[in-house]
Amino acid sequence: MTLKTISIRNLLRRKGKAGFVLAGLVVGVSTVVGIFSFVEAMTSDINHKLEQYGANILIVPKTENLALSYGGLTLGGVSFEMQEIQEQELTRVRTIKNSRNIAALGPLVLGVVNVGTHKVLMAGVDFKAAQILKPWWHLKGTVPQENGVILGSESARILNLGIGDRIGIRNKKLVVSGVLQSTGSQDDQLIFTRLVTAQSIFNKNGRISMAEVAALCKDCPIGAMVKQISDVLPGAKVMAIQQVVKSRMETLAQFKKFSFGISGVILLIGSLVVLVTMMGSVRERTDEIGIFRAIGFRKRHIMGIVFMEASIISGLAGIIGYFTGFGVAKAALKVFSENHSGNVPFSFELAVGAIVTALIVGLISSAYPAFMASRLDPNEALRSL
Protein backbone atom coordinates (compact mmCIF):
# COMPACT_ATOMS: atom_id res chain seq x y z
CA MET A 1 0.00 0.00 0.00
CA THR A 2 1.42 3.30 -1.15
CA LEU A 3 0.02 6.65 -2.23
CA LYS A 4 0.06 5.29 -5.79
CA THR A 5 -2.30 2.48 -4.75
CA ILE A 6 -4.76 5.05 -3.40
CA SER A 7 -4.54 7.10 -6.61
CA ILE A 8 -5.04 4.12 -8.90
CA ARG A 9 -7.94 2.74 -6.84
CA ASN A 10 -9.62 6.14 -6.83
CA LEU A 11 -9.26 6.52 -10.60
CA LEU A 12 -10.72 3.06 -11.11
CA ARG A 13 -13.63 3.91 -8.84
CA ARG A 14 -14.37 7.25 -10.48
CA LYS A 15 -14.12 5.97 -14.02
CA GLY A 16 -16.54 8.55 -15.39
CA LYS A 17 -14.68 11.52 -13.99
CA ALA A 18 -11.29 10.07 -14.88
CA GLY A 19 -12.59 9.39 -18.37
CA PHE A 20 -13.84 12.96 -18.66
CA VAL A 21 -10.45 14.39 -17.67
CA LEU A 22 -8.76 11.92 -20.00
CA ALA A 23 -11.04 12.88 -22.88
CA GLY A 24 -10.40 16.59 -22.29
CA LEU A 25 -6.67 16.10 -22.39
CA VAL A 26 -6.77 13.64 -25.29
CA VAL A 27 -8.72 16.16 -27.39
CA GLY A 28 -6.18 18.87 -26.56
CA VAL A 29 -3.10 16.72 -27.13
CA SER A 30 -4.41 15.02 -30.25
CA THR A 31 -5.33 18.39 -31.76
CA VAL A 32 -1.85 19.72 -31.12
CA VAL A 33 -0.21 16.54 -32.40
CA GLY A 34 -2.53 16.44 -35.38
CA ILE A 35 -1.77 20.03 -36.30
CA PHE A 36 1.98 19.61 -35.76
CA SER A 37 2.06 16.41 -37.80
CA PHE A 38 -0.15 17.87 -40.51
CA VAL A 39 1.88 21.07 -40.82
CA GLU A 40 5.12 19.11 -40.75
CA ALA A 41 3.91 16.73 -43.43
CA MET A 42 2.56 19.60 -45.54
CA THR A 43 5.85 21.47 -45.20
CA SER A 44 7.73 18.37 -46.20
CA ASP A 45 5.33 17.84 -49.10
CA ILE A 46 5.75 21.42 -50.27
CA ASN A 47 9.49 21.24 -49.87
CA HIS A 48 9.52 18.09 -51.92
CA LYS A 49 7.54 19.87 -54.62
CA LEU A 50 9.80 22.88 -54.40
CA GLU A 51 12.82 20.67 -54.87
CA GLN A 52 11.23 19.61 -58.14
CA TYR A 53 10.55 23.21 -59.04
CA GLY A 54 14.01 23.68 -60.58
CA ALA A 55 16.30 26.67 -60.46
CA ASN A 56 15.53 29.40 -58.03
CA ILE A 57 18.65 31.55 -58.28
CA LEU A 58 19.81 33.22 -61.50
CA ILE A 59 23.32 34.48 -62.05
CA VAL A 60 23.49 36.98 -64.93
CA PRO A 61 26.12 39.50 -65.98
CA LYS A 62 25.80 42.98 -64.58
CA THR A 63 24.35 45.23 -67.27
CA GLU A 64 23.18 48.77 -67.69
CA ASN A 65 20.44 47.99 -70.19
CA LEU A 66 16.71 48.00 -69.58
CA ALA A 67 14.54 45.21 -70.85
CA LEU A 68 12.40 46.31 -73.72
CA SER A 69 9.83 43.59 -73.50
CA TYR A 70 6.29 43.59 -72.24
CA GLY A 71 3.68 40.87 -72.24
CA GLY A 72 5.85 38.54 -74.27
CA LEU A 73 6.50 41.18 -76.95
CA THR A 74 10.21 41.98 -77.22
CA LEU A 75 11.20 45.20 -78.91
CA GLY A 76 14.92 44.77 -78.47
CA GLY A 77 17.28 46.47 -76.11
CA VAL A 78 20.47 48.34 -75.98
CA SER A 79 23.27 47.07 -73.79
CA PHE A 80 25.97 49.20 -72.38
CA GLU A 81 29.15 47.95 -70.84
CA MET A 82 27.84 44.38 -71.01
CA GLN A 83 30.11 41.99 -69.17
CA GLU A 84 30.11 38.25 -69.52
CA ILE A 85 30.79 35.79 -66.78
CA GLN A 86 33.86 33.64 -67.05
CA GLU A 87 32.91 29.99 -66.70
CA GLN A 88 35.85 29.44 -64.39
CA GLU A 89 34.46 32.00 -61.96
CA LEU A 90 31.46 29.76 -61.36
CA THR A 91 33.66 27.37 -59.36
CA ARG A 92 33.62 30.01 -56.61
CA VAL A 93 29.91 29.40 -56.13
CA ARG A 94 30.82 25.99 -54.73
CA THR A 95 32.86 27.68 -52.00
CA ILE A 96 30.05 29.66 -50.36
CA LYS A 97 28.99 28.89 -46.81
CA ASN A 98 25.75 27.25 -47.91
CA SER A 99 27.32 25.35 -50.79
CA ARG A 100 25.85 22.10 -49.46
CA ASN A 101 22.41 23.55 -50.25
CA ILE A 102 23.24 23.81 -53.93
CA ALA A 103 21.54 20.93 -55.67
CA ALA A 104 22.70 21.94 -59.15
CA LEU A 105 24.60 24.69 -60.87
CA GLY A 106 23.92 25.08 -64.61
CA PRO A 107 25.93 27.44 -66.79
CA LEU A 108 24.15 28.67 -69.89
CA VAL A 109 25.40 30.38 -73.01
CA LEU A 110 22.86 32.05 -75.28
CA GLY A 111 23.00 33.31 -78.79
CA VAL A 112 20.91 33.78 -81.88
CA VAL A 113 21.45 31.49 -84.84
CA ASN A 114 19.94 31.25 -88.29
CA VAL A 115 18.28 27.98 -89.21
CA GLY A 116 17.02 28.19 -92.72
CA THR A 117 15.11 31.43 -92.91
CA HIS A 118 14.42 31.59 -89.18
CA LYS A 119 16.31 33.27 -86.41
CA VAL A 120 16.35 31.01 -83.37
CA LEU A 121 17.69 31.39 -79.88
CA MET A 122 20.24 28.70 -79.12
CA ALA A 123 21.25 27.72 -75.62
CA GLY A 124 24.32 25.77 -74.63
CA VAL A 125 23.61 23.92 -71.42
CA ASP A 126 25.05 21.35 -69.06
CA PHE A 127 22.55 18.52 -69.62
CA LYS A 128 23.49 16.78 -66.36
CA ALA A 129 22.61 19.89 -64.34
CA ALA A 130 19.55 20.43 -66.52
CA GLN A 131 18.06 17.20 -65.19
CA ILE A 132 17.74 18.92 -61.79
CA LEU A 133 17.29 22.47 -63.02
CA LYS A 134 14.56 21.62 -65.49
CA PRO A 135 12.65 18.67 -64.07
CA TRP A 136 9.68 19.52 -66.27
CA TRP A 137 11.60 18.55 -69.40
CA HIS A 138 10.35 15.42 -71.10
CA LEU A 139 12.70 14.56 -73.90
CA LYS A 140 11.67 12.45 -76.83
CA GLY A 141 14.96 11.07 -78.16
CA THR A 142 18.35 11.25 -76.52
CA VAL A 143 20.60 13.81 -74.88
CA PRO A 144 22.78 15.31 -77.66
CA GLN A 145 26.44 14.54 -78.14
CA GLU A 146 28.93 17.25 -79.05
CA ASN A 147 27.51 17.63 -82.54
CA GLY A 148 23.91 17.28 -81.62
CA VAL A 149 21.00 19.44 -80.57
CA ILE A 150 17.58 19.02 -79.09
CA LEU A 151 14.69 21.21 -80.05
CA GLY A 152 11.93 22.88 -78.10
CA SER A 153 8.49 21.73 -79.26
CA GLU A 154 7.67 25.05 -80.98
CA SER A 155 11.03 25.36 -82.66
CA ALA A 156 10.69 21.78 -83.96
CA ARG A 157 7.25 22.62 -85.33
CA ILE A 158 8.21 25.94 -86.91
CA LEU A 159 11.50 24.67 -88.30
CA ASN A 160 9.78 21.46 -89.39
CA LEU A 161 12.54 19.32 -87.96
CA GLY A 162 12.47 15.96 -86.24
CA ILE A 163 14.81 13.43 -84.63
CA GLY A 164 17.64 12.46 -86.97
CA ASP A 165 17.37 15.60 -89.11
CA ARG A 166 20.50 17.61 -89.71
CA ILE A 167 20.80 21.35 -89.45
CA GLY A 168 23.61 23.67 -90.45
CA ILE A 169 24.58 26.36 -88.00
CA ARG A 170 27.54 28.63 -88.75
CA ASN A 171 29.39 26.02 -90.76
CA LYS A 172 28.63 23.25 -88.25
CA LYS A 173 26.46 20.31 -89.11
CA LEU A 174 24.41 19.31 -86.08
CA VAL A 175 22.07 16.33 -85.66
CA VAL A 176 18.70 16.62 -83.92
CA SER A 177 18.88 13.92 -81.25
CA GLY A 178 15.65 14.77 -79.48
CA VAL A 179 12.63 16.99 -79.18
CA LEU A 180 11.26 18.34 -75.92
CA GLN A 181 7.61 17.91 -75.17
CA SER A 182 5.77 21.17 -74.78
CA THR A 183 6.62 22.79 -71.42
CA GLY A 184 4.58 25.95 -71.77
CA SER A 185 7.77 27.91 -71.09
CA GLN A 186 10.30 29.77 -73.21
CA ASP A 187 12.16 26.49 -73.59
CA ASP A 188 9.64 25.53 -76.28
CA GLN A 189 11.13 28.20 -78.56
CA LEU A 190 14.79 27.26 -78.16
CA ILE A 191 17.41 24.97 -79.56
CA PHE A 192 19.61 23.32 -76.96
CA THR A 193 23.07 21.99 -77.39
CA ARG A 194 26.03 21.14 -75.22
CA LEU A 195 27.70 24.09 -73.53
CA VAL A 196 31.05 23.59 -75.30
CA THR A 197 29.31 23.32 -78.67
CA ALA A 198 27.43 26.56 -78.14
CA GLN A 199 30.56 28.32 -76.85
CA SER A 200 32.35 27.19 -79.96
CA ILE A 201 29.51 28.35 -82.25
CA PHE A 202 29.26 31.76 -80.57
CA ASN A 203 33.00 32.06 -80.19
CA LYS A 204 32.60 32.44 -76.47
CA ASN A 205 35.01 29.82 -75.20
CA GLY A 206 35.25 29.89 -71.42
CA ARG A 207 32.45 32.41 -71.14
CA ILE A 208 28.80 32.04 -70.26
CA SER A 209 25.72 34.22 -70.57
CA MET A 210 24.17 33.24 -67.27
CA ALA A 211 23.91 30.43 -64.75
CA GLU A 212 21.02 28.83 -62.94
CA VAL A 213 21.24 27.47 -59.42
CA ALA A 214 18.86 25.00 -57.83
CA ALA A 215 18.88 25.55 -54.10
CA LEU A 216 15.34 24.64 -53.34
CA CYS A 217 15.55 22.44 -50.34
CA LYS A 218 14.24 22.47 -46.80
CA ASP A 219 15.45 25.41 -44.74
CA CYS A 220 17.48 26.85 -47.63
CA PRO A 221 18.30 30.42 -46.73
CA ILE A 222 17.74 31.69 -50.27
CA GLY A 223 18.30 35.33 -49.36
CA ALA A 224 21.55 34.53 -47.61
CA MET A 225 22.69 32.36 -50.50
CA VAL A 226 22.04 35.17 -53.00
CA LYS A 227 24.20 37.43 -50.87
CA GLN A 228 26.96 34.81 -50.58
CA ILE A 229 27.02 34.20 -54.35
CA SER A 230 27.03 37.96 -55.01
CA ASP A 231 30.04 38.26 -52.73
CA VAL A 232 32.04 35.63 -54.64
CA LEU A 233 30.89 36.89 -58.04
CA PRO A 234 31.15 40.67 -57.80
CA GLY A 235 30.81 41.07 -61.56
CA ALA A 236 27.50 39.24 -61.70
CA LYS A 237 24.00 40.07 -60.75
CA VAL A 238 22.43 37.36 -58.59
CA MET A 239 18.66 37.15 -58.34
CA ALA A 240 16.32 34.86 -56.47
CA ILE A 241 13.29 33.48 -58.24
CA GLN A 242 11.31 32.82 -55.14
CA GLN A 243 8.01 34.56 -55.48
CA VAL A 244 6.08 31.34 -55.81
CA VAL A 245 8.13 29.62 -53.16
CA LYS A 246 7.87 32.55 -50.85
CA SER A 247 4.13 32.92 -51.16
CA ARG A 248 3.58 29.22 -50.56
CA MET A 249 5.92 29.21 -47.58
CA GLU A 250 4.31 32.38 -46.23
CA THR A 251 0.89 30.79 -46.54
CA LEU A 252 2.20 27.78 -44.69
CA ALA A 253 3.78 29.97 -42.01
CA GLN A 254 0.47 31.81 -41.55
CA PHE A 255 -1.31 28.49 -41.32
CA LYS A 256 1.27 27.33 -38.80
CA LYS A 257 0.74 30.40 -36.63
CA PHE A 258 -3.03 30.03 -36.83
CA SER A 259 -2.82 26.33 -36.03
CA PHE A 260 -0.55 26.87 -33.07
CA GLY A 261 -2.94 29.54 -31.79
CA ILE A 262 -5.85 27.11 -32.09
CA SER A 263 -3.76 24.41 -30.37
CA GLY A 264 -3.03 26.78 -27.51
CA VAL A 265 -6.71 27.59 -27.07
CA ILE A 266 -7.66 23.90 -27.17
CA LEU A 267 -4.96 23.06 -24.63
CA LEU A 268 -6.24 25.86 -22.42
CA ILE A 269 -9.77 24.47 -22.64
CA GLY A 270 -8.37 21.00 -21.86
CA SER A 271 -6.58 22.34 -18.82
CA LEU A 272 -9.78 24.04 -17.63
CA VAL A 273 -11.61 20.73 -17.98
CA VAL A 274 -8.93 19.12 -15.80
CA LEU A 275 -9.08 21.96 -13.28
CA VAL A 276 -12.86 21.92 -12.93
CA THR A 277 -13.08 18.13 -12.77
CA MET A 278 -10.26 17.82 -10.27
CA MET A 279 -11.81 20.53 -8.10
CA GLY A 280 -15.09 18.64 -8.15
CA SER A 281 -13.27 15.46 -7.28
CA VAL A 282 -11.53 17.11 -4.34
CA ARG A 283 -14.86 18.45 -3.04
CA GLU A 284 -16.40 15.01 -3.31
CA ARG A 285 -13.52 13.52 -1.39
CA THR A 286 -13.59 15.91 1.57
CA ASP A 287 -14.44 13.08 3.96
CA GLU A 288 -11.76 10.84 2.60
CA ILE A 289 -9.10 13.56 2.74
CA GLY A 290 -10.21 14.25 6.31
CA ILE A 291 -9.53 10.58 7.15
CA PHE A 292 -6.12 10.73 5.50
CA ARG A 293 -5.22 13.86 7.44
CA ALA A 294 -6.61 12.39 10.71
CA ILE A 295 -4.43 9.30 10.43
CA GLY A 296 -1.32 11.38 9.87
CA PHE A 297 -0.99 12.17 6.18
CA ARG A 298 0.94 15.37 5.63
CA LYS A 299 -0.17 18.04 3.16
CA ARG A 300 2.41 16.83 0.68
CA HIS A 301 0.96 13.31 0.88
CA ILE A 302 -2.49 14.65 -0.04
CA MET A 303 -0.99 16.72 -2.86
CA GLY A 304 0.97 13.65 -3.92
CA ILE A 305 -2.24 11.63 -4.31
CA VAL A 306 -3.88 14.34 -6.45
CA PHE A 307 -0.75 14.85 -8.56
CA MET A 308 -0.30 11.11 -8.96
CA GLU A 309 -3.85 10.82 -10.31
CA ALA A 310 -3.25 13.77 -12.63
CA SER A 311 0.03 12.24 -13.83
CA ILE A 312 -1.52 8.86 -14.57
CA ILE A 313 -4.38 10.42 -16.55
CA SER A 314 -2.12 12.95 -18.28
CA GLY A 315 0.48 10.37 -19.25
CA LEU A 316 -2.23 8.15 -20.68
CA ALA A 317 -3.78 11.15 -22.44
CA GLY A 318 -0.37 11.99 -23.92
CA ILE A 319 0.01 8.49 -25.39
CA ILE A 320 -3.59 8.21 -26.65
CA GLY A 321 -3.50 11.84 -27.82
CA TYR A 322 -0.34 11.28 -29.83
CA PHE A 323 -1.71 8.29 -31.71
CA THR A 324 -5.12 9.91 -32.20
CA GLY A 325 -3.50 13.09 -33.52
CA PHE A 326 -1.21 11.01 -35.71
CA GLY A 327 -4.23 9.24 -37.20
CA VAL A 328 -6.12 12.49 -37.66
CA ALA A 329 -3.11 14.07 -39.42
CA LYS A 330 -2.85 11.05 -41.71
CA ALA A 331 -6.53 11.28 -42.60
CA ALA A 332 -6.38 15.06 -43.05
CA LEU A 333 -3.32 14.80 -45.25
CA LYS A 334 -5.08 12.37 -47.54
CA VAL A 335 -7.77 15.00 -48.04
CA PHE A 336 -5.57 18.09 -48.27
CA SER A 337 -2.35 16.87 -49.82
CA GLU A 338 -2.28 16.92 -53.58
CA ASN A 339 -0.59 13.56 -53.92
CA HIS A 340 -3.02 11.98 -51.40
CA SER A 341 -0.18 9.97 -49.92
CA GLY A 342 -1.15 10.57 -46.27
CA ASN A 343 2.41 9.83 -45.35
CA VAL A 344 3.07 11.15 -41.83
CA PRO A 345 6.36 9.89 -40.43
CA PHE A 346 6.42 8.70 -36.80
CA SER A 347 8.16 11.34 -34.75
CA PHE A 348 9.74 10.20 -31.50
CA GLU A 349 10.31 13.84 -30.49
CA LEU A 350 6.66 14.69 -31.09
CA ALA A 351 5.52 11.60 -29.16
CA VAL A 352 7.71 12.56 -26.19
CA GLY A 353 6.60 16.18 -26.58
CA ALA A 354 2.94 15.13 -26.53
CA ILE A 355 3.37 13.12 -23.33
CA VAL A 356 5.41 15.86 -21.64
CA THR A 357 2.89 18.53 -22.72
CA ALA A 358 0.01 16.43 -21.40
CA LEU A 359 1.85 15.91 -18.12
CA ILE A 360 2.63 19.62 -17.76
CA VAL A 361 -0.95 20.66 -18.57
CA GLY A 362 -2.36 17.98 -16.26
CA LEU A 363 -0.07 18.83 -13.37
CA ILE A 364 -0.44 22.60 -13.68
CA SER A 365 -4.23 22.28 -13.88
CA SER A 366 -4.23 20.01 -10.83
CA ALA A 367 -2.00 22.27 -8.76
CA TYR A 368 -4.84 24.40 -7.41
CA PRO A 369 -7.14 21.44 -6.57
CA ALA A 370 -4.18 19.66 -4.95
CA PHE A 371 -3.38 22.74 -2.91
CA MET A 372 -7.02 23.11 -1.83
CA ALA A 373 -7.16 19.42 -0.89
CA SER A 374 -4.02 19.70 1.21
CA ARG A 375 -5.45 22.70 3.07
CA LEU A 376 -8.55 20.83 4.22
CA ASP A 377 -8.90 20.98 7.99
CA PRO A 378 -9.28 17.36 9.15
CA ASN A 379 -11.51 18.42 12.01
CA GLU A 380 -13.91 20.21 9.69
CA ALA A 381 -13.65 17.48 7.07
CA LEU A 382 -14.67 14.86 9.63
CA ARG A 383 -17.67 16.45 11.25
CA SER A 384 -18.11 13.54 13.57
CA LEU A 385 -15.13 14.63 15.63
Q: Which is nearer to other proteins, 2 or 243 (CB)?
A: 2
**349-378 binders of other proteins (CB under 8 A):** 377-378
Closest of 56, 96, 58 to residue 236, by C-alpha = 58
**Residue 297 binds to other proteins (criterion: CB under 8 A):** yes
**264-293 binders of other proteins (CB under 8 A):** 287-288, 290-293
**Residue 10 binds to other proteins (criterion: CB under 8 A):** yes
**Residue 296 binds to other proteins (criterion: CB under 8 A):** yes
Closest of 236, 218, 217 to residue 226, by C-alpha = 236
Number of CB atoms found within 10 A of residue 351's CB: 18
- What 254-261 contacts at long range (C-beta under 8 Å, 24+ apart), as own/partner pairs, is 255/39, 255/42, 256/39, 259/35, 259/38, 259/39, 260/35
- Residue 373 CA to residue 190 CA, distance in Å, equals 81
Least gap, CB of 19 to other proteins (angstroms): 16
**Residue 9 binds to other proteins (criterion: CB under 8 A):** yes
**Residue 74 binds to other proteins (criterion: CB under 8 A):** no
Pick one of 5, 254, 339, 343: the residue that binds other proteins (CB under 8 A). Answer: 5
Alpha helices in the chain (DSSP H): 3-13, 15-51, 127-133, 153-159, 195-201, 222-232, 243-284, 286-294, 299-336, 348-374, 378-381
Pick one of 265, 272, 294, 356: the residue that binds other proteins (CB under 8 A). Answer: 294
Give the count of residues interacting with other proteins (CB under 8 A): 28
Of 10-18, 101-109, 342-350, 359-367: span binding other proteins (CB under 8 A): 10-18
Pick one of 140, 237, 248, 301: the residue that binds other proteins (CB under 8 A). Answer: 301
Pick one of 298, 341, 343, 346: the residue that binds other proteins (CB under 8 A). Answer: 298
Pick one of 295, 335, 338, 348: the residue that binds other proteins (CB under 8 A). Answer: 295
- Residue 75 CA to residue 182 CA, distance in Å, equals 25
Which DSSP letter does residue 181 get? P
Least gap, CB of 263 to other proteins (angstroms): 35
**Residue 12 binds to other proteins (criterion: CB under 8 A):** yes
Which DSSP letter does residue 337 get? S
Provide the pairing of β-strand 172-180 with 148-151: parallel
Contact positions vs other proteins (CB under 8 A)? 1-3, 5-6, 9-10, 12-13, 287-288, 290-299, 301, 377-379, 382, 384-385
